[in-house]
Amino acid sequence: MTPVYVDNNATTQVAPEVLATMLPYFREYYGNPSSMHNFGGQVGPKVRQARQQVAELIGAAADEIIFTSCGSESDNTAIRSALSCYPERRHIVISRVEHPAIRSLGTTLAKQGYRVTEIPVDSRGHLDMARLQESLTPDTAIVSIMWANNETGVIFPIEEIAELVHRQGIMFHTDAVQAVGKIPINLRQTPIDMLSLSGHKLHAPKGTGALYVRKGTKFSPFLIGGHQERGRRAGTENVPGIIGLGRGCQLAADNLERENTFVRELRDHLEHELLRLVPNAVVNGDHDQRLPNTSNISFEFVEGESILLMLNEFNICASSGSACTSGSLEPSHVIRAMGVPFTMAHGSIRFSLSVYNTREEIDFIIDKLPPIIERLRLMSPFGNSGVKACTCQ
């Protein structure tokens, strides 16, 4: 049975064009771009081309791009760089709904004596801008707020936040891993200092990422060693991966309109039909300020893990939250931060689509999921009483 894959915020398939671009650099052109000989040196122009392709997707200059191994490395590099450049400042501001790459780092830094402020969100997933402004102090080294949430797809007003933070003379970083390639981004028009992106979220290979660092921004490397990346990130370059990341970014730019039309229509069709067919189901997060590919729906009185297991019997691949926290039976920290009631929070499912999904696949999910929810509710005493209570209204 062919998988119906709607878990693209966890990872994406490598695009055929990306794979074809990468393959020669595993066996035919495997030289080290730092070598003096021609065999290694011939790889250098392809790395430079990839850097330009990444830069063009986000409206940056090529020399503002540092290749990394993933979004988490980019996030860690950005925050640790700010703390290293401003050692007298001991305060960090993040949001309560950040990815574990940021939140877990915040927890670690708090144990090392840093003060970490987490800004709350409201029931629609919007950031509390007043609390953000109040939190900024002369002791704040960096503010790191994600561009779009990985679980709900809610988009934060990053340009406005960057302006606010900059007026206070504070460095600003955004984890844009879910936003890059899904919505237009032009860093020439914003004061963002640093931005993280990841290859495997946009049909490039896993193990690739990049950190944008605006020209003139103070920077201290995370990985120390060789002179690679102009001394900003040591380690021999992952040449096939970098070339794949560049091609993936080029494809993402080409597909941006399709992402915001075709994919959005598929997402809306899925959402509309599931809400019509399944009582006691709600969409989590703002309906309008969302990534075009993401829908997070809570099905009251049932467990998300049970839903996923039964979907898996039909080879439908979705998730109950971040892939980096899957396996936990606790409700998602994002859904809890939004104040979603307990009976809803446990039954939240994230559907994240891509340009490779089809209308037939979405209709297949619409056909299979409602009976699954009905069956699970019949097995649950809470489900029986709850649904009956609602149906009587």
d(CA 322, CA 303): 16
324 is catalytic: yes
The dihedral built from the CA positions of residue 148, 149, 155 and 159, taken in this order, carries a sign that is: negative
Q: Where are the beta strands (DSSP E) in 76-131?
A: 91-95, 115-119
Rg (CA), the chain: 22
Q: Output the CA–CA distances (angstroms, integers) from residue 53 to 63, 217, 248, 254, in the order listed.
A: 12, 22, 9, 12
Cα 44 to the center of its chain, rounded Å:
29
d(CA 311, CA 54): 36
Beta bridge pairs of residue 366: none
d(CA 102, CA 287): 25
Neighbour count for residue 110 (Cβ, 10 Å): 12
Query: Considering only CA atoms, which of 11, 324, 50, 71 is closest in space to residue 194?
Result: 71
Which of 70, 85, 249, 324 does the annotation list as catalytic? 324
What is the 3-class SS of 152-193, one letter each residue? CCEECCHHHHHHHHHHCCCEEEEECCCCECCECCCHHHCCCC
Q: Report residue 173: phi and psi, to 5°.
A: -125, 145
Q: Output the CA–CA distances (angstroms, integers) from residue 271 to 9, 68, 155, 158, 252, in the order listed.
A: 17, 36, 18, 26, 24
Query: Half-sphere exposure of 119 toward its Cβ, with a 13 Å CA cutoff?
Result: 23
Neighbour count for residue 248 (Cβ, 10 Å): 30
Return the exposure string of 359-385: e unless at least 16 CB atoms fall within 10 Å of the residue's CB, then b. eebbeebbeebbebbeebbeebeebee
d(CA 118, CA 379): 39
Catalytic residues: 324
